[in-house]
Homo-oligomer: A and B are copies of this chain.
Amino acid sequence: MAERLIYLPLGGAGEIGMNAYVYGYGAPGKERLILIDLGVTFGDMDGTPGIDLIMPDMTWLEKNRDRLEAIFITHGHEDHLGALGHLWQRLGVPIYARQFTGALVRLKLEEMGHPGNTVNITGARPEVTRIGPFTVQFVPVSHSIPESAALIIDTPAGRILHTGDFKLDGTPVVGDPFDPEMWHEIANEGRGVKVLACDSTNIFTPHPGRSEALLADPIREWVLSQPNLVVATTFASNIARLKTLAEAAIAAGRKVCLLGRAMRRMVSVGMETGVLTDFPDTISPEEATNLPRNQVMLIVTGSQGERRAASAQLSRGRYLGLQLKEGDSFLFSSRTIPGNERGVSRIMNALSELGVEVYDADDGFYHVSGHANRPDIEALHDLLKPRIVIPMHGEHLHLREHVQLARAKGLAAEIAVNGNVLDLTGDAPKIVDQVETGRVYLDGTVLIGAMDGIVRDRIRMALNGHALVSVIVDEEDNALPDAWVELMGLSDRTRGGADLAGHIEGELAEFLEGADARTVGNDAKLDEALRRITRQVSMEEIGKKPEVTVIISRLMAD
């Protein structure tokens, strides 16, 4: 059978986050594979209470690991590399990344006890990595973290351009500016670009993207006009922004204090790898407390409302000796990621209650996006002239919109969501197979499956409460009549003011007294009956059907 070129997203297609894209080339079912990115997404109380991280299920790739050549990491964001520490060992292949990204990958691996030297540091195009049927180049692109890269993946079936996350920024403050000449070259080498796999995040944003460099003046003006302590928060990994903020502080005669482990780490990796130069000297929180308030600027983590980050801590009161007051100013130099609105709003209101003036970036002066907007995506289509567009890095709505945009330009395009196997060999992409995909959760220190029922049980307990029923059955299969009921997360009083647990115990005792030996002697039957009564009484008395756990203790004859 003829060889073919396939694309298989295992994460990131039909969602924003948890990126993991497979490309394959070879005979059907025997394609040699590479994986692009291995990221996480973050849970929320609605769907995944208590879950620390969400990762793509690697079962399929693990089963096919003898076909997997390598993992390429486009950039250092958690949604592109955050799962490496937890899942790399199951795949066990070399990792390729540029220097700054590679340093972050190493930290991830080493934190989990894996050897950091599995990472191969690779230079930007024209350097190439030849592996299996693939020849891969890292193409510098602008994004909200230094050293982001698109990938050129040359295969016998043609050239793929996988954008990773990108924007078109000629003046990105830190990192490589957009270079139209180079992209023109990429489009015109050999047979040109066959497939463009393209970031879709901002497909609904109608205006052209704005440059990081546009922020320097407004931010400096803003800092200059503030009378007391100034605080700014942004994404820890947005090193260009950190630099802009820090330089604004210096221009206003203030010292810079970085709060938050992630932020200090990013700055230090940035300096070690040489991507960040001329970053102003910083002071410690202790030094900051000893300076007049109008001579300090704090740059802090927690722009997304994370409860344990520095922003949240400061909004709740004293943090590392620092305390915000009436007349201080707090800037969110960031966009609130959809889903985080409640958390961010909670912090902003708490700051307002402290008397702090809160500034957000809604008017566009203090934040620009790291992703290409709709006209920029169109510009890339026009520049690269691909035959096929595969939208990625988007929810279903984004992918649909991106496909419509591409088709309107006469390009072949297809929606492929996680698990779809897309054949890219011909002129038009075709979904030819479907692979089981899913999510794996990091819960504490163990990995659990999304379908294991563990999280479902947590959600049920959170919605319905949990009733525990304990009964003891003696050596002769007689239930001792005093069932014991404990309620957790449930009102202990009925509508009429009675004791709910006591009331259920009474009903259970009555049942047990009359129950026949066949029921009492059978764990499943007894469990079922006690559960039913508990739920029924609870429904009648407080209008809720709790989760019920029954513990039957059977006494053994000595």
Contact = CB atoms under 8 A, between A and B. Distances in A.
A189 interface: no
A338 interface: yes
A348 interface: yes
A411 interface: no
A448 B341 CA distance: 27
A127 to B, nearest CB: 39
Contacts of A122: none
Nearest to A496: B446
Contacts of A395: 345, 349, 352
Contact of A549 (B44, B50, B468): B468
Interface string A477-519: 0000000101011110111000000000000000000000000
Given A46-B45, A542-B444, A491 B454 contact: yes
A306 interface: no
A452 B489 CA distance: 10
B44 A342 contact: yes
A539 B444 CA distance: 8
A400 B341 CA distance: 19
Contact of A461 (B46, B358, B466, B494): B466
Given A444-B544, A470-B551, A551-B484, A464 B45 contact: no
A523 interface: no
A397 B358 contact: yes
A463 interface: yes
A457 B489 contact: yes
Contacts of A345: 338-339, 395
A28 to B, nearest CB: 27
B468 A468 contact: yes
Interface residues of A, number: 61
Contacts of A342: 44, 46, 338-339
Given A443-B544, A454-B490, A551 B396 contact: no
Contacts of A93: none
A454 B489 contact: yes
A488 B470 contact: no
Contact of A495 (B362, B446, B463, B495): B446
A44 B346 CA distance: 14
B400 A549 contact: no
A553 interface: yes
Interface in A1-49: 14, 44-46, 49
Contacts of A490: 454
A79 interface: no
Nearest to A550: B486
A115 interface: no
Most B-side CB within 10 Å, residue of A472, A484, A549: A549
A437 to B, nearest CB: 15
A553 to B, nearest CB: 6
Nearest to A553: B472
Nearest to A52: B543
30 contacts: A14-B349, A45-B49, A50-B462, A50-B465, A338-B342, A339-B345, A349-B395, A349-B396, A352-B400, A443-B491, A444-B539, A444-B543, A444-B544, A445-B543, A446-B493, A446-B542, A448-B491, A454-B489, A457-B489, A461-B462, A461-B488, A466-B466, A470-B551, A470-B553, A472-B472, A472-B555, A484-B551, A488-B547, A488-B549, A553-B553
Given A455-B489, A458-B463, A461-B488, 9 more contacts: A45-B49, A349-B396, A444-B539, A445-B495, A445-B543, A461-B461, A462-B462, A486-B551, A551-B551
Shortest beta-carbon contacts, A-B, top 6: A444-B543, A445-B543, A462-B462, A444-B544, A49-B462, A458-B489
